[in-house]
Chains A and B, each alone.
Chain A
Amino acid sequence: MWQFFHKLGSPKWFYGIATRFMPWLLASGLLLLAGGLAWGLAFAPADYLQGNSYRIIFIHVPTAFLAQSMYIMMAVAAVVTLVWRMKLADVFVKAVAPVGLVFTFLSLFTGAVWGKPTWGTWWVWDARLTSMLILLFLYGGVIALDRAINDEKSAARAVAVLVLVGVVNIPIIKYSVNWWNTLHQPATFKLTEKPSMPVEMWVPLLLSVLGLYLLFGWLACLRMKTEILVREQKTRWVKDLVMAGRG
């Protein structure tokens, strides 16, 4: 068990594994995403209330889903950084935070554009959108702090503390925003929660969520590999690797 753990923390080991898995992640991710989106765009039936605008759901939900679960993943990695000082964990946080920011932005953007035909305005202070906006701020803070600290190790640990403080706050923020929302505007109908979604709608949705997850896996591996190279550029194994010509 401990040996496995130790191995998991070794950048060299990870680099090898990631290189082996990445083509599969990319291929399966693209395939699933393309399939899910094509199905959702062209073949799934129109929604009886919202018409065709609901087709935005096939990117809105996956990005929102991923943006939130990425923050949780970062928090797990932050615990690992602080407790076991595992190098890979802080490489993960650093590599993934900008991706999280982009996905959060995408879910906000698609939510806003979807809101226009549905609610008649670009932006509604709806509980979900507001929570996502705050998540965007949290990601922004993490990236800004990481950029501001020069020393890599200190940056990793400071960011880990911030991510953990953020993750303790996320449920509180969600709860309070929900409460605030009901206080200020009596429940309108929600964007994504439908009483029952027909199979032809949720299967493509599931496909695109899975596809985006796999693509994210590929992206995370790639960015982590880059970060590992930057950090380990003086070591023997990086030299051998680079000189052997395979990346």
Chain B
Amino acid sequence: MSEPLLQAVNLECERDTRLLFHNLSFSILPGTVTRVEGPNGTGKTTLLRILAGLNDAFSGDLLWCGEPRSHLRESFLRNTLYLGHRPGIKPLLTPLENLRALMAGRRRVTDDTLSQALAGTGLAGFEHVPCRNLSAGQQRRVALARLLIADEPLWLLDEVFTAIDAGGVKAIEALLQQRAQEGGAVLVTTHHDLQLPGMQRIILGGGERDDN
């Protein structure tokens, strides 16, 4: 399985007449963890949103399994999991209902599985509490519970460690590591000092920005 899942060729993105990045090319291979790095405002989130298919204001090519992604949109969406800044959790619904709704369009899962996933993120006993009564970290954990049941080969995770306590961070690191060993591909942006063996890096805003 050495064929790259996702390939970016000469990506260029301009935002409000400011060039965020250009000539950006890389491949995401199965079984790897890749970290997108760079100071604030260098386009980490924008890059992730472009890769996820949310932002199409860019030039350059994105290849999914070697073919233009726009031709294989459904296959791409089915096989990619994106978790953004905003976790997609409705404050008025309970963690279980939220998780159920998020999985509904993707894959059939039983409530039992969902409860187990919630328990795995430390939310056992909170299944039926409305999310607005949970703390920020707990709400993030509801979204992260998807990682415990996700079968998508490609994960795009934006700032996963935000609002997560030290123990949780350790556990997530281990989860990403394990996912890569299973053959999944993970792309993360984080300011947390993530160090995993064999981790790849994409560095943004690294001086090669030509200013005008």
Interface residues on B, range: under 10
B16 at the interface (CB under 8 A from A): yes
Q: Would A151 and B212 count as touching, CB distance under 8 A?
A: no
A246 at the interface (CB under 8 A from B): no
Complex-state Cα separation, A150 to B57, whole angstroms = 13
Interface residues as binary, B17-29 with A (CB distance below 8 Å gives 1, 0 otherwise):
1000000000000
Which residues on the B side are within 8 Å of A234 (C-beta)? 17, 212
B15 at the interface (CB under 8 A from A): yes
A229 to chain B, nearest CB (A): 13
Which residues on the B side are within 8 Å of A150 (C-beta)? 16
Interface residues as binary, B120-163 with A (CB distance below 8 Å gives 1, 0 otherwise):
00000000000000000000000000000000000000000000
B159 to chain A, nearest CB (A): 22
Which residues on the A side are within 8 Å of B17 (C-beta)? 234
Complex-state Cα separation, A236 to B191, whole angstroms = 37
Which residues on the B side are within 8 Å of A151 (C-beta)? 15-16, 57
B179 to chain A, nearest CB (A): 34
A27 to chain B, nearest CB (A): 37
B191 to chain A, nearest CB (A): 26
Complex-state Cα separation, A234 to B14, whole angstroms = 12
Complex-state Cα separation, A11 to B7, whole angstroms = 31
Secondary structure dominating the interface of A: loop
A192 at the interface (CB under 8 A from B): no
Complex-state Cα separation, A153 to B12, whole angstroms = 14
Those of B1-55 within 8 Å (CB) of chain A: 15-17
B45 to chain A, nearest CB (A): 15
A235 to chain B, nearest CB (A): 10
Interface residues as binary, A127-167 with B (CB distance below 8 Å gives 1, 0 otherwise):
00000000000000000000000110110000000000000
B185 to chain A, nearest CB (A): 29
Complex-state Cα separation, A150 to B17, whole angstroms = 11
**Closest partner residue, chain A, to B15 (CB atom):** A151
Q: Would A154 and B212 count as touching, CB distance under 8 A?
A: no
Which residues on the A side are within 8 Å of B15 (C-beta)? 151
Complex-state Cα separation, A151 to B18, whole angstroms = 11
A230 to chain B, nearest CB (A): 10
Q: Which of A150, A151, A154 has the most C-beta atoms of chain B within 10 angstroms of its own C-beta?
A: A151
Which residues on the A side are within 8 Å of B57 (C-beta)? 151, 153-154
B176 to chain A, nearest CB (A): 33
Complex-state Cα separation, A151 to B55, whole angstroms = 12
8 A-B pairs within 8 Å (CB atoms) are namely A150-B16, A151-B15, A151-B16, A151-B57, A153-B57, A154-B57, A234-B17, A234-B212
Q: Which residues of A contact B (CB under 8 A)?
A: 150-151, 153-154, 234
Q: Which residues of B contact A (CB under 8 A)?
A: 15-17, 57, 212
CB-based closest 3 A-B pairs: A153-B57, A234-B212, A151-B16
5 more A-B residue pairs beyond the given contacts A150-B16, A151-B15, A234-B17, with a C-beta to C-beta distance below 8 A: A151-B16, A151-B57, A153-B57, A154-B57, A234-B212
